[in-house]
Amino acid sequence: MSTTELLRRAWTAFRRPSRLIALAAAALAVIALGLLSAAGNRSSCAGACPAVPVADDGSVVSDRFWFLHRDLGREGSITVRLTSMTGTITYPPPHHDRIVPGLVPWAKAGIIVKDGLRQGSRYAALTMTGGNGVRFQYDYTHDVAGSPGPVTEQSPRWLRLTRSGDTITGAESADGTRWHTVATATLDGLPDVVQVGLFATSPGDLTLRPVGLGGAVEEVRFTQAVGVFDNVTVEGGAAGGWHSDPIGQMNQTDWEKYHNASGAIERDGVITVSGTGDIGPLSEDGARGVGTTLPGLVVALTVLLVVAARYGTRTAHEGPTRRVVVARAAVVAGSAFVTGLVAAGVVVPAGMAILDHNGIPVQPVPAPTLARVIVGVAVVLALCAALAYGLGVWLRRGGAAMAVGLSLVALPYAVTTVPLLPDGVAEWLLRLTPAAGFAVRQTAVEYPQVTAHHAPSAGYFPLPWWGGLGVLCAYTVVVAWVALGRTRGADTDWR
């Protein structure tokens, strides 16, 4: 019998109304739950929400800080001495009843060259951080480490940014005499006149509150950073004086209104700049990713695993040849692939459009990445269905095959998408079980300079998409090999 005829007969045997209805229900569950979830996410601002900063490459970013600035021409530099960096953290755990002095690790105070005052415009900055030493950062995603250690009155830090056309160089010094270059960046297309000056910013204090069986949910509190500068020198500056402005909204909290408003103060050559916010990529919590549109995947996965496992058990009881088993497995996998492709192809772009319409920041995804997610979800569902079918053929008991399939795939995936288990346990489940394959839906990038909860429940998978897919493929191949070992090799009449 030809392969084409074998596949045709396999499809004829599979296409029972109950199975087709189950496949349709699986696709509709993905679409309906995804669209309902997207529609239920709306901005909660009193009035119009402030616009989310967008960088020149189209990505959604954080860009909020206090800026004491002036014009700088195509050739020039700014040099300062940072003598002190302090900060405030409001109501931290365990009791949330005090306002304490302190700096979060990625609080920043330093100097910056920026293409105007628009949020999202290009920049290069040399900054002291709260816990990560000196850093040279530019265009939101780039971060280069300088010298470690904090700044104190006994050990101040000299910082310098030099502009030559589109090239910005950051250098630091302990004494203002011997300089060390931290890094250089090329910001193509900078105008002849840019803004240069001193800045301060501080992201929220992120802590994790235990929930469930050891899982964690994020809690964020307002913080503020204060930098004290002297020996401020600008060379190559255009005519005009200093201006003090917030980049993004500032002085909105009660702390700023009634205690210490963000801003810049100059007294006897000493400049104090205080600010809150961040400059860098926006985390998955701040901007929704593709995974937000796929809460129905676990339902579809459960349906497909049950259908495939039961069909594999029925196939085993018929005593088929290996060719028949392979043909039926191909039909099961192909049906799951089409189900996943239709469901993801509808809900991902539609859900992201709804989120954007509702005022929820959505991180734009390049077309190749979007296609990878949609096709990848379909491939993963196909492999999971083939795995469950193989379990049915191998174990020959529908209940056992379904229990093993759900325990191996659906349960690990379900419990890691919510803050239920400790982050370490969730990460190992997504490394060692077939659920690792769902790393194909990840579009979030883990940036070390971003204060975020990098955990599976927050959309971060421990393996790259190809690594997770490899784990799932390995499980499927092993189960298929064992299942085929229990079938007859000779061809017989079709049953």
Q: What is the pLDDT of residues 105-125, one digit of tens each?
A: 999 999 999 999 999 999 999
Give the per-residue pLDDT at 493: 42
Give the per-residue pLDDT at 237: 73
Task: Output the six-digit token pair for 136.
Answer: 């040279």
User: Considering Cα of 183, then 196, then 110, then 87, what sign does the dihedral take?
Assistant: negative
Q: What is the pLDDT of residues 211-245, one digit of tens each?
A: 989 999 999 999 999 999 999 999 987 667 899 99
* Residue 422 burial (CB count, 10 A): 16
Single-letter amino acid, residue 17: P
* Residue 61 burial (CB count, 10 A): 25
Q: What is the DSSP letter of 52?
A: P
pLDDT tens for the chain, residues 1 to 495: 788 999 999 999 999 999 999 999 999 999 999 999 999 988 766 666 677 899 998 889 999 999 999 999 999 999 999 999 999 999 999 889 999 999 999 999 999 999 999 999 999 999 999 999 999 999 999 999 999 989 888 899 999 999 999 999 999 999 999 999 999 999 999 999 999 999 999 999 999 999 989 999 999 999 999 999 999 999 987 667 899 999 999 998 988 998 899 999 999 999 999 999 999 998 766 667 788 899 999 999 999 999 999 999 999 998 888 999 999 999 999 999 999 999 999 999 999 999 988 888 888 888 999 999 999 999 999 999 999 999 999 999 999 999 999 999 999 999 999 999 999 999 999 999 999 999 999 988 889 999 989 999 988 999 999 999 999 999 999 999 999 988 866 444 443
Rounded to a whole number of angstroms, the distance between the first and last alpha carbons of the chain is: 13
How far, in Å, CA of 137 to CA of 280, rounded? 9
Q: What is the four-CA torsion angle of 97, 101, 106, 108, rounded to 10 degrees?
A: 140
Is residue 230 classed exposed, middle or buried when 0-12, 13-18 and 19+ CB atoms within 10 A define those classes? middle
Q: Determine if the pTM surpasses 0.85.
A: yes
Q: What is the pLDDT of residues 190-200, one digit of tens each?
A: 999 999 999 99
How far, in Å, CA of 414 to CA of 425, rounded? 13
Phi, psi of 71 (to 5 degrees): -70, 150
- For the chain, what is the mean pLDDT? 93
Do 433 and 408 contact (CB within 8 A), yes or no? yes
Do 88 and 255 contact (CB within 8 A), yes or no? yes
Do 305 and 410 contact (CB within 8 A), yes or no? yes
Q: What is the pLDDT of residues 429-474, one digit of tens each?
A: 999 999 999 999 998 888 999 998 999 998 899 999 999 999 999 9
Q: What is the pLDDT of residues 385-401, one digit of tens each?
A: 999 999 999 999 999 99
